[in-house]
Amino acid sequence: MLNEIKELLQSSANNVRMSQDVDRVLNEMETMNDEFFRRITLKYPKLTSNEKQLLGLIRTKTKAKDIASIKGITTKSLEMSRYRLKKKLQLGSETNLDQFIEGF
């Protein structure tokens, strides 16, 4: 029983550290892409911070499975987030979101 408690505490500590690491990575990404976020916010002021984070992660060419892991969601949820983001940006189905972000 004591070993199980120790393992649980260790797991919790690891999750906290991982959460802090993710926050640090996201903050660094925002800092490095400050001009991009300024321009995207001016053009699309109704974007949420979550949507802006997604844009930043896509802009840095982060793989889909890594984005899903960072955001704590499934890849299917990520696909839906990308779809909704395209709609919010008023991009047609023929427009590639990655290319749009790269050219923005």
Residue 24 has a pLDDT of 77
pLDDT by 10s per residue, the chain, length 104: 556 655 645 654 555 566 677 777 777 777 878 899 999 999 999 999 899 989 999 998 999 998 998 888 999 999 999 999 999 999 998 999 999 999 98
Residue 72 has a pLDDT of 86
User: What is the distance between the alpha carbons of residues 52 and 58, in angstroms, rounded to a whole number?
Assistant: 10
Q: How far apart are the two ends of the chain, measured CA to CA in Å?
A: 56
Q: Is the dihedral of CA 46, 50, 52, 54 positive or negative?
A: negative
pTM score over 0.85:
no
User: What is the distance between the alpha carbons of residues 81 and 50, in angstroms, rounded to a whole number?
Assistant: 10
Owner of token pair 């890849």: 75
